[in-house]
Amino acid sequence: MTENLRCSAPAMLVALLTLAIPEIKTRAQAPAAKPATPLVFVENTNSGDVSVIDATSFKVVGTIPVGLSPDDIVASPTGDVLYVSRIVHRQDGRPTGTGEVVMIDVATRKELGRVAFRGVPNHLAVSPDGRRVYVTIVSGNYVDIIDPARRAVVDSVDVGTGPHDIEVSRDGKTVYVGLIRGTDVTVFDATTNRILRKIPFGANVRPIAVSRDEDRLYVQLSQFYGFVVADPRSGKILRRVVMPLQSGTKMPDTLPVTTNHGIRITADGRYLIANGSMADLVAIYALPDLGLVATIPVGRDPNWVALSPDGRRAFVSNRGSDDVSVIDLDARKEVSRVKVGRYPQRMASVVVSR
């Protein structure tokens, strides 16, 4: 019995090694994890497409056609789907007065479908759980709510004349809507769609930014070169901030309607980035005191601000010069300028595994 065991030991060892070898081979042949690539998607209103910028190399790596007059672009919370609002045009190029949201797969850059609705759309926002896409209908007085799973409009909220920019709170409970044909920011409950309050600003409301804890609301207005700070809970106006000009320039006698467009709070809540559209610059302010940190010249007519996924850079679309300025937030300077499509406006920043 002992002799039999001794004789079979080498055979058993060979058998064990044989079983282990395929496992070792399988592990060696396992595919490597795909590297993550940060991308910035830029909607180009007049060329009817979306430029794809590699956020590391600052080069355009693709173009996605969507049709004339896209207006805004946002990503789902998971970063796998892009939503693009656009004004629908007839074959002769004239607008129909209706709109749609184009859904795009981020990884393949292929269209997933379109959701049509009545009225002319402007900006978009997505709930933190990804179950609602909010579309402001600037030609009307309401915000349409899209269920992306059903690819359909499932509800609408009357917010006032000419809704334009829109933000959803971090917890998804509250929605803030600026009225570009009105003078208020309308705040409504995302669960009940009930209007909670209207905050008057005395002028048409342009882009807005809400602080992480919702204790401050920063608002750009028509024909005001700066922004207004309000308490979104009480509606009280706390401060009016006039932005700087580039060295050697002065304020014109008559201000254009769009003096500023694009305002963003960094992910860490430390800085506010605001476009001075009429002056071709970006100003960075420290929060909460709003001390001016930097004034950075960019391209012509800066329109929007998007942050890189790592928070180190700001991308600013310059619709007057058809390019995007890349700003290093630590160095506080423009480090690159990327040529894109015609009349670039809104942008979305995501990380893609290829």
Q: 36-75 pLDDT, tens per residue? A: 899 999 999 999 999 999 999 999 999 999 999 999 999 9
Residue 119, domain member (yes or no): yes
For residue 160, give the CATH number of its domain. 2.130.10.10
Determine what percent of the chain is predicted with pLDDT higher than 90.
82
Mean pLDDT, the chain, whole residue set: 91
Residue 33, domain member (yes or no): no
Sequence-ordered strand ranges (E) for 106-203: 111-118, 121-126, 133-137, 142-147, 152-158, 163-168, 174-179, 184-189, 195-200
Residue 59, domain member (yes or no): yes
Q: pLDDT grade, residue 256 (50/70/90)? A: confident
**pLDDT > 80? residue 91:** no
Sign of CA dihedral 354, 106, 110, 337: negative
Reported residue count of the chain is 354
Residue 324, domain member (yes or no): yes
Contact assessment for residue 204 and residue 222, using Cβ atoms and an 8 Å cutoff: yes
Residue 298, domain member (yes or no): yes
Residue 71, domain member (yes or no): yes
Q: How far apart are the first and last CA of the chain?
A: 59
Task: Tell me the pTM.
Answer: 0.89
258 to each of 33, 123, 180, how far by Cα in Å? 46, 16, 11
Instruction: Assess whether the previous peptide bond of 288 is cis (omega < 30° from 0).
Output: yes
Q: ∠ CA 74-277-266 to the nearest 5 degrees?
A: 50
Which range marks the domain in which residue 232 is found?
39-353
| Average pLDDT for 231-259 | 90
Residue 29, domain member (yes or no): no
Distance of CA 58 to the CA centre of its chain: 18
Residue 10, domain member (yes or no): no
Count how many domains the chain has.
1
For 47, the 3-state DSSP assignment is coil
